[in-house]
Amino acid sequence: MAQSPYTDMNEQQAEVARLTAELEIRDQLVQQLSQELFRLVKGNAGFMPSPEVSEQHQAEVRALRDQLRGVEKQIDFYQGELEERDAEVLQLRQTVQELTDRSRMLEQVVQELPTVYRQKFSERLTPVKQRVAELQRENRQLQAELQSVTYRLAMRTRRSQRLELPSLSAEGTLEGGIALPSFGSA
């Protein structure tokens, strides 16, 4: 199972803390041994430790110093790891901040889109409405002209197709001498 970088970092920090505590305990032991040796040597001025004991203490001191160097190397290694992780975390935080800012900007753009589209549509629709109004006015004018022309044509056609009725004379006879019946004073 893969562990997250934060879990690894926490484990490394715990290991560094444990090693630091162990180092402090060893430092205290070395300090206590040094004080004890100093007290013994000072209290027993004539006391000379035997060469075997002295060599044994020196070997222990060398071993402790070697362990100390090993722990210091581990601490340096873990501090380097922590610095790398801190740099990585900082970079990730910056990336998150940039993406958050970009997301906010895009959300704002998305929220403004309906208004922008309405405005653009209105801008495009205005000339179309004006053209439609012009065409309607022109259509009404042409229809009015067409009605006028149709009316004049109908009037002209009516006049040309009018039947010429014979005209009556004052005596009640037609021009050809045909007499019309009279109804008297009815």
Whether the pTM exceeds 0.85: the reply is no
State the distance between the two ends of the chain, measured CA to CA, in whole angstroms: 129
CA–CA–CA angle 24, 28, 33 (5° rounding): 150
Q: What local confidence, expressed as pLDDT, does residue 73 receive?
A: 92
Q: How far apart are CA 72 and CA 23, in angstroms?
A: 9
Distance (Å) of CA 108 to CA 54, 113, 119: 79, 9, 17
pLDDT means per 10 residues in the chain (186 residues)? 66 87 89 83 60 78 90 91 92 95 94 92 92 95 94 85 58 56 56
Largest CA distance in the chain: 191
Q: What local confidence, expressed as pLDDT, does residue 39 receive?
A: 80
Tens of pLDDT, residue by residue over 53-66, are 678 888 888 998 99
Q: What local confidence, expressed as pLDDT, does residue 171 receive?
A: 57
Phi-psi region of 38 (alpha: psi -120 to 50; beta: other; left: phi over 0): alpha
Q: How far apart are CA 81 and CA 75, in angstroms?
A: 10
Q: How far apart are CA 154 and CA 148, in angstroms?
A: 10
The domain segmentation of the chain, as residue ranges, is 5-114
Q: What local confidence, expressed as pLDDT, does residue 9 receive?
A: 78
Q: What local confidence, expressed as pLDDT, does residue 86 receive?
A: 92
Phi-psi region of 36 (alpha: psi -120 to 50; beta: other; left: phi over 0): alpha
